[in-house]
Structure 1
Amino acid sequence: MTSGEPAFHPGRIAAFPRSARALVKSLLADLSAPVFLAGMAILTAVFATRWLPVLPQPPRALNLAAWAAPLSAALTVSRMAMALLLALIVTGVCAPLAASGGWSGTLLTRLTRAARSVPALGRAAFLTPLFLALYSRNGTGAEFASIIATAGSIAPDAAFAMILALRGVPAELDLAARGIGLTAWQRFWRLDAPCAIPSVCDSLAASLPGAWFTLLYAENLTWVQGGGSFPGIGSYVVAAATHAAIQPIILGGGVMLVVALACNRLGLKLMTAWAARYRLGDVERGDPMRDSALFRALRLSPVLRPATRVATSAVEFVARLRIGGRPRAQHLSEPPATENRAIPVILIAGGVLAALYGDALISNHHLFGDFLHICFFGLLTTIRVLALIALISLFWTPVGVWLARRSVAKQIVGVCAMFPANLLYPLVVGVAISAHVNAGFWLAVLPALGAQWFFLTHILRGVETFPADLLRAATAFNVRGGLWWRKVMLPGLAPACLGGVIAAANAAWNASIAAELVRWGDRDFELLGIGGYITHASVNGEMTNVALGVAAMTFFASSSRLLIWAPLTNALRRRTGREHVVLR
């Protein structure tokens, strides 16, 4: 789940090119930043492999007692908190620079958009052996790898959402800020940040399930690669799987379910209510935080009220500092007059030169030949993902329409989406082996365990916003059965279905990195595909192969968005006139 990407509106997708020349130009523009990031990752991997050799070490023993599961979960939650803080800092620094326009702003925007195409688990597979080699496999390297990889699954989405929010600041508020003489620093705290809070919070809520998935996968890799005694719920479960112990896996999953429930019912609910205060538009609605019983209970806490008062005073003091000059007259919502056409060329040239230089430094590899070989693995994974998405769509569309009538369904689906499904992968493989069933089939099905909830979430939202007048008209004309589905429900649910398909495909594509190689006992069960290739290379410390695999996955993700999802989204928008398709 990326991995955890923020809400997307089809109006922000360029129209699908109508000519071959325009198609080539769009491909070069959209793939320039991914090519640059891939080239730099390959060069970094070559340098690290040459001067920081990663020698695989056996994992250390972990305590699998029952009391160790809550402690491991607490350590995992602390890493998630640090990752969120790091992601917010990166977002607050990069997004205003990117939204300011100009050459640097355009470059940052392209790199941020490209970073969203990089699979979150691919970042974790790349960073884990790198930091373990940099810090000689001590606890510092393991912590850095897990926290930075998790923050990397949140920051690009949050930064991109903040860029769009800053460019959409109302012109009258911009004029007011310049009229009262706010400096750039004061404007950020008093105008830009409050306007961006709703978009950033929505992005965090959408990215959090993928962040949990990424964090547990990073803990898994760190322990398998001998990164010291690294307790966490991810390493706890994989250590239990190595000993073929089902009971600790169930216990770890139960503890993580409690964490997911608390995160969904407490954290997300409070964050959504707090962000609603800053939404522009309806000023007559009540305060959602003051209307919340949970918030009223927290306000009575003898610890929270003084802490909140201190934090508020600190933020107000920082916001009053007169740092920097006054912003230029051009408003952020106004796009640059002309976009520098040299940027895509520079990015592509830089990425290709970095990859060529990395290829020249190693003698036992032919990077571009290996890249084509990895693309074949990517095709195998793509075929399996598409088959899973088709099955998910056929099953959950009618079931989702039926579940939408139950008020508790949305809450249960939210908790299921928050739960990191990779905790269940060893358990499914262990049960399949105990039942003497082909484990390869279940490895192919594993990505659907988490992806299905993203599709179902979109279906529930689509039914919730379905025009009630249309349903009443269908009832009045006695439209039933297959005709009701073909003429009423499916056309109305088309935007939600497409958004769910895109979200589920991205989640399954990302989850394949963890699902195509699963350990049970003293055996590794691997499925031929790009995900298994990346995980296998990361476990063995082959950073160059990891970089090539992640580059191939990024290429597939960027190309599919331009060649498949964008045309489908635009065609549906023209056909239905609805703008709320969500691309994840």
Structure 2
Amino acid sequence: MRRELIQAQRPKRFGWVDILVLALSVGLLYFLLTLGSGMKASFIPERASELDLNPILLPYYAGRSLLRMFLAYGLSLIFTFVYGRIAAYSKRASIVMVPLLDILQSIPVLGFLSVTVTGLIGLFPGNMLGPELASIFAIFTGQAWNMTFSFYYSVTAIPSEFREVSTMTRMSGFSRFRKLEVPYAMIGLVWNSMMSFGGGWFFLAASEAITVLGKDIKLPGIGSYMATAIDKGDMKAIYLSIATMILMIVVLDQLLWRPLVAWSQKFKMEQSEGDSQESWFLDLLRKSLVISHLHAVLKAVSLRIAEMFLRIKSIKRPAEENSSLSAIINFFIRLLKWGLALGLLYLIASHVLQGILLVLQLGQDDLLKPLEYGGYTFLRVLLGTLIGTLWTVPAGVAIGLNPKLARFAQPLVQIAASFPANMVFPFITLFYLNYHISPEIGAVPLMMLGTQWYILFNVIAGALAIPNDLKEASSVLGLSRYERWKKLILPAIFPYLVTGWITASGGAWNASIVSEVVSWRNHDLVATGLGAYIASVTNEGNWPKIIWGITVMALIVVITNRLIWRKLYVIANEKFNIV
């Protein structure tokens, strides 16, 4: 904060930093136009399964993947703010919206592709925009739920004193969102955004190499490049794709996530200044006169738009207009709302009825087996969450409380969390075969590879949010390490830890489909569980069993969240909210 004040007091002049910013902006614009034009190319099914493994094309493929990732992240951010805010403020809506979020999180990401790809290809015939939109939507489903949970829980945890102040000062909904809700949720949202972006990398290969209607569609991208290299056994291409992905993750960490983490520290609720995160790129941008002017213009425009809406809202129409035109407009608006609601209800009801009719075709044994398998997977999810907590809590606290360690560990954590864990499954399977490790136990570490990072990132966010005043007070009081953990650290990170548990357990259920069935050449290791059951019936194309298996998984996730995680969150919100 002190550095920001000093830089703000110095007069800014046009210099080499501004030239660099302008050059980067022009290059980025040209790059976006070039990549965007490729998304609207002609769609030829015969050529859609071909992908050139020439290393010269890797920068172009990486750019196409990044464009999809950022478009999906933008959609996820909009969804987070809208869905999370409605669920946080409307008790009636939250009764449906929060369990629905649990269900969406538990549905396998690849399950969305079978519906969206077919529909979007039909919507944009002969155009690559259909598969591109399906790929972006698949990445969106791997990013949105974690961010939405984080924002929802942060908004519901805002202290009542802050809410009372916003009411007393007559803040509008937009002002409350901009000045209270987003700043209060910012630290957790930034770290969960990093985790969600990592989740997008995890499913990138599956979302760019799509199989639909018996045909393979490979979109130009680093994920499909890696999938093609594995199919052809081209080790050189595999190593190049891994190196390119690691390079992209490191560059994004330096140019995006590290500056965001450093910037988000100004939203900490504290009265004294302590050690803070640093970013060389953020310091560089703060010296730019162009960035300063652009920020001022965008702020003025946003405030002007907000004022216009407030003025329009406050205009009082004449009584005649209110009694005639306004009444007619309100009637048609209500009619439109009811029409949309009934249409959506009919669509949902018709699909649910079709699903019920299919499930009724199953016998008693087919109905009971998924329930038994769900019990096995439930135990693995709990065991994986517990083991992940044992190492992520001390590691996350160490990273969050030590800025020097964070500067070194953050890119490493980003690489580990973002790298597609399913790419190392064959090597782990070979290890299990050589040492005769049972898949019933071996499925737990495989499940953890993609889920433990949710806990780690939330713990880091919780440790970063601890006010420096409280850390100084614990030192002044001479608390021992045990007392410091018991009275300060654990209570402070507990709300974030519960959020990490909820998202990690949901991710574990999602990952069970690929972790309970793994292969190496002609050897298959299959664990007894609901994930393996769904994978098996999906390969068979048995829709009644697929629907019933996913339904059982969603029910178990919702019941677990209601009976365990929600109660823990209430305790965290009522007893361990440090603000």
What TM-score results when the alignment is normalised by the length of structure 1?
0.64
Match in the other structure for 1:325: 313
490-499 vs 378-387, greater mean Cα deviation: 490-499
Partner Cα separation in structure 2 for residue 234 and residue 542 of structure 1: 29
Aligned residue among 68, 91, 115 for 2:100: 115
Partner Cα separation in structure 2 for residue 80 and residue 93 of structure 1: 20
Partner Cα separation in structure 2 for residue 542 and residue 445 of structure 1: 29
Match in the other structure for 1:551: 551
Q: How far off its partner does 1:272 sit?
A: 4.2
Match in the other structure for 2:196: 210
* Contact persistence 1:512–1:531 (CA under 8 A): yes
Match in the other structure for 2:166: 173
* Contact persistence 1:197–1:275 (CA under 8 A): no
Q: How far off its partner does 1:66 sit?
A: 3.2
Q: How far off its partner does 1:491 sit?
A: 8.2
* Contact persistence 1:129–1:543 (CA under 8 A): no
Q: How far off its partner does 1:527 sit?
A: 4.3
* Contact persistence 1:237–1:423 (CA under 8 A): no
Instruction: Identify the structure with the greater helix proportion.
Output: 2
Partner Cα separation in structure 2 for residue 299 and residue 473 of structure 1: 38
Match in the other structure for 2:330: none
Aligned residue among 49, 67, 77 for 1:78: 67
Q: How far off its partner does 1:317 sit?
A: 3.3
Match in the other structure for 2:339: none
Match in the other structure for 1:298: 285
Q: 1:413–1:561: structure 2 CA closer, same or farther, 3 Å change rule?
A: farther
Q: CA deviation digits over 1:134-172, x for unaligned, max 9?
A: 134863333223323433442633662575389966334
What CA RMSD, in Å, does the superposition of the two structures yield over aligned residues?
5.0
Match in the other structure for 1:127: 112
Q: Which amino acid aligns with 2:152?
A: F
Partner Cα separation in structure 2 for residue 366 and residue 145 of structure 1: 32
* Contact persistence 1:94–1:159 (CA under 8 A): no
Match in the other structure for 1:193: 178
Q: Which amino acid aligns with 1:578?
A: F
SS of the residue 1:228 aligns to: strand
Partner Cα separation in structure 2 for residue 552 and residue 294 of structure 1: 48
What TM-score results when the alignment is normalised by the length of structure 2?
0.65
Partner Cα separation in structure 2 for residue 519 and residue 75 of structure 1: 30
Partner Cα separation in structure 2 for residue 475 and residue 321 of structure 1: 54
Partner Cα separation in structure 2 for residue 519 and residue 63 of structure 1: 27
Larger Rg: 2
* Contact persistence 1:95–1:162 (CA under 8 A): no
Aligned residue among 137, 144, 154 for 1:154: 144
Q: How far off its partner does 1:514 sit?
A: 3.8
Q: How far off its partner does 1:70 sit?
A: 3.8
* Contact persistence 1:208–1:418 (CA under 8 A): yes
Identity %: 19
Aligned residue among 237, 246, 250 for 1:257: 246
Q: How far off its partner does 1:356 sit?
A: 6.0
SS of the residue 2:189 aligns to: helix
Match in the other structure for 1:237: 226
Q: CA deviation digits over 1:82-110, x for unaligned, max 9?
A: 122223333454556556x6xxx444333
Q: 1:551–1:363: structure 2 CA closer, same or farther, 3 Å change rule?
A: closer
Q: Which amino acid aligns with 1:131?
A: T
Q: 1:231–1:526: structure 2 CA closer, same or farther, 3 Å change rule?
A: farther
Q: Does 1:429 align with 2:426?
A: yes
Q: 1:174–1:136: structure 2 CA closer, same or farther, 3 Å change rule?
A: same
For 1:542-581, list aligned pairs within 5 A. Answer: 547-567=547-567, 578-579=576-577
127-136 vs 448-457, greater mean Cα deviation: 448-457
Q: Which amino acid aligns with 2:95?
A: R
Q: Which amino acid aligns with 2:576?
A: R
Q: How far off its partner does 1:469 sit?
A: 7.8
User: Which of the pair has the greater relative contact order for Cα pairs under 8 Å at 6+ separation?
Assistant: 1
SS of the residue 2:381 aligns to: helix
* Contact persistence 1:125–1:535 (CA under 8 A): no
Partner Cα separation in structure 2 for residue 223 and residue 565 of structure 1: 35
Q: How far off its partner does 1:361 sit?
A: 5.1
Q: CA deviation digits over 1:523-579, x for unaligned, max 9?
A: 8765443334445666777776555444333322222223233455667899xx534
Aligned residue among 218, 223, 248 for 2:209: 223
Q: 1:250–1:275: structure 2 CA closer, same or farther, 3 Å change rule?
A: same
How many residue pairs get aligned? The number is 482
Match in the other structure for 2:319: none
* Contact persistence 2:199–2:418 (CA under 8 A): yes
Q: Which amino acid aligns with 2:422?
A: Y
Partner Cα separation in structure 1 for residue 297 and residue 504 of structure 2: 42
Q: Does 1:377 align with 2:373?
A: yes
Q: CA deviation digits over 1:41-66, x for unaligned, max 9?
A: xxxxxxxxxxxxxxx99982433343
Q: Which amino acid aligns with 1:386?
A: L
* Contact persistence 1:124–1:146 (CA under 8 A): no
Partner Cα separation in structure 2 for residue 284 and residue 395 of structure 1: 31
124-133 vs 452-461, greater mean Cα deviation: 452-461
Match in the other structure for 1:39: none
SS of the residue 1:366 aligns to: coil
Q: How far off its partner does 1:128 sit?
A: 0.4
* Contact persistence 1:139–1:228 (CA under 8 A): no
Q: Which amino acid aligns with 1:449?
A: L
Q: Which amino acid aligns with 2:169?
A: A
Partner Cα separation in structure 2 for residue 537 and residue 310 of structure 1: 56
For 1:395-410, list aligned pairs within 5 A. Answer: 408-410=404-406
Q: Which amino acid aligns with 2:248?
A: V
Q: Does 1:448 align with 2:448?
A: yes
Q: Which amino acid aligns with 2:156?
A: L
Partner Cα separation in structure 2 for residue 195 and residue 515 of structure 1: 41
Partner Cα separation in structure 1 for residue 395 and residue 526 of structure 2: 32
Partner Cα separation in structure 1 for residue 303 and residue 545 of structure 2: 49
SS of the residue 1:62 aligns to: coil
Partner Cα separation in structure 2 for residue 431 and residue 216 of structure 1: 17
Q: 1:65–1:543: structure 2 CA closer, same or farther, 3 Å change rule?
A: farther
Q: 1:304–1:491: structure 2 CA closer, same or farther, 3 Å change rule?
A: closer
Partner Cα separation in structure 2 for residue 132 and residue 554 of structure 1: 23
